[in-house]
Amino acid sequence: MAVKRVNPLDWDLGNVPPNIAWGGVDEAGRGAWAGPVVAACAVLDPDAVQRWAHVLRTAKDSKKLSPDKRESIAAELKMVLTAWAVAEVDNIAIDRDNILQATLEAMRQAIHQVAVKPRILFVDGDRAPRSGLPERLLVEGDAISCAVAAASILAKTHRDGLMRKMETAWPGYGFSHHKGYGTPEHQRALKEFGTCAIHRLSYAPVTGHQRLDEKLRKGLEDGLEACTSVAQLQVWVEMDLRPAYGWLKLEWVEALRRTYGDKLARLALEQEERAPG
C-alpha cells in the first residue's frame, strides 16, 4: 500500500513551534563543472502561511518542476515569503576551498542576508552550515519541507538565469542548455574550445581540457606588480584575473594569490598609516 506524502507546508507546520519564523536553505549547482554554486534561504512565518498558503503549497522539489513552472513559482514566492535571500560563491573560490566548503559558505551568506532571521532553519543535506542559528538537517529536504523547497526553487532559478547570461559571455559552450553540468554537449564543447573563465579547474573532467597560456600568466604577474593601491588590486582581480582564469594552472593561480595577499596587506597598512588622525 502506497504511503501518501504529507504536503511540505503541512510538514513544516507540524515541525516548528507556534508563532515563530522559520527558514529553509538549499543550494543549486554543486555538481556542475562550470559557474558558481548558489544557495538560497527562504523564511516563513504564521502570517505568511495564513495569507498565502495556496501559493506555498505549490512549492516542491525544484528538480521535479518544469523550467517554466519553476520560474512562475519563484516569482510568486518572492512576493509572499516573509524574507528571502540568494548568495553565490564563484568557481575561483570553489577551486580554492573545495565545493563542500564553498556550498556551506554560500548557505551562510544567504542566511545572514535575510531581513527576518528565522528561529529555526531546515537545511537540505547532511552537512550543517553552522550559521549560528538552530539548524535541523534534512536529507532530500526539498521534498519534505516547504521552506527548503522554496529555497531550492529560488536557488535553481537564480543560477539558471546566471548561466543563461554566461552563454552570452562565452558562446558555444551551451551554458543556457546544460547550465554548466557535465552533459555530452558540454563535453564536446570542452574538447573543441577548451576551458573558459567560469570553469572549475579543480574538477578532473575539466582540467584535461585546459589550454594553458604562459604569456597570459606573465602579463598577470606584471599587472599585479604594477598595482600601487588597494583599489587597483581590486580592479586587477575583476578585469585581469577572472577573465584569464580558464587558461591558468591552479598552481599559477595559487602563486598569484599569495603575491596578491602579501601586496594587499602591505598596501592596506600603508593606506592606514597615511590616514589622518
Domain-located, residue 205: no
Residues 33 and 139 in one domain: yes
Residues 136 and 68 in one domain: yes
Domain-located, residue 182: no
Q: With CA atoms as reference, report the closest residue to 263 among 241, 233, 243.
A: 233
Q: Provide the β-strand partners of residue 214.
A: none
Residues 158 and 231 in one domain: no
In whole angstroms, what is the distance from residue 232 CA to residue 84 CA?
34
Domain-located, residue 177: no
Coil, helix or strand at residue 232 = helix
The pLDDT of residue 1 is above 70: no
Q: With CA atoms as reference, report the closest residue to 172 among 194, 151, 157.
A: 194
Cβ contact 174:191 at 8 Å: no
Q: Which three cell numbers stand for residue 251?
A: 598552481
Q: With CA atoms as reference, report the closest residue to 24 among 115, 124, 140.
A: 124
Domain-located, residue 74: yes
Please give the average per-residue pLDDT across 139-158, as a whole number: 96
The pLDDT of residue 44 is above 50: yes
- Residue 12's CB is within 10 A of a number of other CB atoms, namely 23
Residues 147 and 256 in one domain: no
The pLDDT of residue 125 is above 50: yes
Task: Residue count of the chain, please give it.
Answer: 277
* Amino acid 260: pLDDT: 96
Task: State the DSSP string of 149-195.
Answer: HHHHHHHHHHHHHHHHHHHHHSTTS-HHHHTTS--HHHHHHHHHH--
Q: Per-residue pLDDT tens for 206-227?
A: 999 999 999 999 999 999 999 9
* Amino acid 2: pLDDT: 46
Residues 12 and 112 in one domain: yes
Q: With CA atoms as reference, report the closest residue to 45 among 146, 125, 138.
A: 146
In whole angstroms, what is the distance from residue 76 CA to residue 72 CA?
7
pLDDT band of residue 62 (cuts 50, 70, 90) is confident
In whole angstroms, what is the distance from residue 97 CA to residue 90 CA?
11
pLDDT band of residue 121 (cuts 50, 70, 90) is very high
Domain-located, residue 175: no
Q: Which helix (H) or strand (E) holds 99?
A: helix 99-113
Residues 251 and 156 in one domain: no
CATH number at residue 142: 3.30.420.10
Q: Per-residue pLDDT tens for 230-256?
A: 999 999 999 999 999 999 999 999 999
Domain-located, residue 87: yes
Residues 258 and 128 in one domain: no
Residues 12 and 104 in one domain: yes
Number of domains in the chain: 2
* Amino acid 150: pLDDT: 97
The pLDDT of residue 95 is above 80: yes
Domain-located, residue 153: yes
In whole angstroms, what is the distance from residue 101 CA to residue 115 CA?
24
In whole angstroms, what is the distance from residue 125 CA to residue 255 CA?
34
Please give the average per-residue pLDDT across 100-106, as a whole number: 98
Cβ contact 42:23 at 8 Å: yes
Please give the average per-residue pLDDT across 141-160, as a whole number: 96
Global pTM value: 0.92
Q: Which three cell numbers stand for residue 38?
A: 548558489
Domain-located, residue 125: yes
In whole angstroms, what is the distance from residue 126 CA to residue 122 CA?
11
Domain that holds residue 246: 214-274
Domain boundary among 133, 166, 199: 166
In whole angstroms, what is the distance from residue 238 CA to residue 16 CA?
43
